[in-house]
Amino acid sequence: MFIWVHKQTLQLISLNFLWNFLIWGTSATLLPILSKDLLHTAAQGYGLLGASLSVGIIVGSFILGSISIQNHLFTIVLASLLTHGFLYALLSLATNVWIGCVILCLSGIVSSPAMINQRTLIQQSVPEEKLGRIFIVLSSIATLGFPLGSILTSGLLVWIGNSYAFILYALYGISLITAVTIIWLWNRPSKEIDHAKNI
C-alpha cells in the first residue's frame, strides 16, 4: 500500500491522528473545566476562551495566505505542531481567563500552518489517482482520534478529579512534543544520507 512505502505520507497521517487525539479531542472536554474549575469564570469566560482559539486560527490562516512559502513545508508542519504542543502544555499554568485567551489565540495562530500545509504536502507528493483515497484515510484517522481523545480525557477526569485537569494539559502537550520530536529525529538520517550523496 502506498502509505506504508511513502514515509512522509505515513508520518503526516500519524501526526494528524496524534494531533486530534492529544489536542483537539481532549480540548473539547478540558476547556469547560479550564473555564469553570481552574479559572473560575462564568459562561462569558468560556465563550471568550473558545472565541480566542477561533480568532487565532482565522488570523493564522490570513497570515499564511499573505506569504508565499514553497520550501520546507514538512519542517513547518513539525514546527507548528511542536509549538502547539508547547502552548497546550502552557495552559496548565494559566491563572486567569485573559492569560488563557492569549494562549489559546496563539495556539490558533500557530496551528494554522499545520492545518494547511499538511494537505498541501499530500497533494504534492501523492499521485493524482491515489489522492482521493489518501485524503479519505487522512480524514478517517483524524475523525477517529477526536472521540478517542475525549473518551480518554473523560475517563482520566473521573479518576483524578476536575481540580487536577491542569495536569492533563501538560501531559497531552508534552506527549505531542515528544511524538513530533521522534518523527523529526527519524527524518534526520535520511536527509544526511541524501546530502552525502550529493557531495
pLDDT at 67: 83
Q: Is residue 199 part of a domain?
A: no
**Is residue 163 a part of any domain in this protein?**
yes
Length of the chain: 199
For residue 102, being part of any structural domain is answered with: yes
The secondary structure element, H or E, covering residue 175 is: helix 165-198
Structural domain including 93 reads: 2-193
Cell of 75: 519542517
Is 198 inside any structural domain?
Answer: no
Residue 188 has pLDDT above 80, yes or no: no
Query: Tens of pLDDT along 60-114?
Result: 999 988 887 777 889 999 999 999 999 999 999 999 999 999 999 999 999 999 9
Assign residue 63 the CATH number of its domain.
1.20.1250.20
Counting residues of the chain whose pLDDT is more than 70, the rounded percentage is: 91
Q: Does residue 183 lie within any of the structural domains?
A: yes
Q: How confident is the model at residue 1 (pLDDT cuts 50, 70, 90)?
A: low
Residue 94 covered by a domain: yes
pLDDT reported for residue 193: 34
- Residue 128 pLDDT > 90: no
How do residues 6-62 score in pLDDT, each as one tens digit?
A: 788 889 999 999 999 999 999 999 999 999 988 988 888 999 999 999 999 999 999
User: How many structural domains are present in the chain?
Assistant: 1
Neighbours of 141 (CB within 10 A): 18
Contact residues for 184 (Cβ-Cβ < 8 A; gap 6+):
78
Burial code (b: 16+ CB inside 10 Å, e: under 16) for 100-114 equals bbebbbbbbbbbbbb
